[in-house]
Structure 1
């Protein structure tokens, strides 16, 4: 049940949700890229909070270990939570995708305006770990969206003739979320190692 091949196969069952997740993430990046006014202030606060955390982590004894532990637990906990938070009609996964996309779009655009190159920001700063981390977060949100869709479908079929099929659908889906959660944690563990070692060395180097 927890095989990687099972995880990949399960992704096919949420294909539409994956497409929506990618679209929402791209929309978030686009909005962040052109954001001004109150939205810009919101994103600056988000980035400021991350900067404060980064500064605190650098004050510890083993800086890279501190970064690894923070990155891994922060991403893993949020990603698993966003799957099951989808029970609230998929609203939280939508917000999560948009905010993360906006932060990336705003950060890249703002940093480039201050003279940094696209290559340094994206290829060196984001790609080493982001090639794993970003798709995994999108997958987690897609399961959350699917969760919300199944909740809505269940409510609409409470009095319908097909309500007897809902139990089986929920059983299959919850099994898939368990498999997904395990592999999401594993993949984010790998991404956190890369970000706290390779990405850290490249950015600091």
Structure 2
């Protein structure tokens, strides 16, 4: 009975989350297109948005493969966790986090396409990106869902903000957290091999 109740609660949560996932997907795609287009218009200014990636790359220098994997995992998991946790601020932070990452991805993809070719971009982003990007979109959706409940609370409508935050955190720990780890493992140990085999770099 307990297991059935857990499954039903999970299905209910997913049904409630789906509209927010579609919204997150839409804005992620739009922000990625915007970043890609902005590099065409102002490439020098657009590259400033990649400073965070450059800092991360510098941190990775001299580390072992396991340390690289761990750093990538911690970086992504912490950011996505706080994107969810801070959703109570009317969903503004997870929305901003989503749009910023989409924009940066667009700039990065265009820059790498110009420098190394489209094949390099596909080889470098696809292996781990097929997991990491959906996790980014879903975690932002969870945060925005919490933000929606927070808005209802302000409107004095029936809402359980504390319960919604707990639901979001449980969903993150049970489903997103392990997949973020898997994406970090793939990015560290498989993506470089794919880049070498496909792009010869």
TM-score bucket of the superposed structures, by smaller chain: 0.7 to 0.9
The equivalent of 2:192 in structure 1 is 200
2:106 maps to what in 1?
A: 105
Gaps of 5+ in 2: none
Q: CA deviation at 1:154?
A: 1.2
The structural deviation recorded for 1:44 is 1.9
Q: What is the total number of aligned residue pairs between the two structures?
A: 192
Per-residue CA deviation, residues 11-50 of structure 1 (Å, 9 max, x unaligned), is 2211111111001101110110111599755642342332
Instruction: Give TM-score, length-normalised by structure 2.
Output: 0.83
Matches within 5 A, 1:152-167: 152-157=151-156, 163=157, 165-167=158-160
TM value normalised by structure 1:
0.82
- CA shift, 1:4, in A, is 8.6
Instruction: Note closer, same or farther for the CA distance 1:43–1:88 as it changes in structure 2 (3 Å cut).
Output: farther
Q: Which runs of 4+ in 1 moved over 4 A?
A: 3-9, 36-43
Show structure 1 runs of 5+ residues with no match. 158-162
- Matches of 2:112 and 2:148, distance apart in 1: 37
Q: How big is each residue's C-alpha offset from its partner over 1:74-94, in whole Å with a ceiling of 9 and x where there is no partner?
A: 000010110111111111111
Relative to structure 1, the CA distance from residue 38 to residue 201 in structure 2 (aligned partners, 3 Å threshold; closer, same or farther) is same
Greater RCO between the two (CA within 8 Å, min separation 6)?
A: 1
Q: Which 10-residue stretch deviates more, 33-42 or 99-108?
A: 33-42
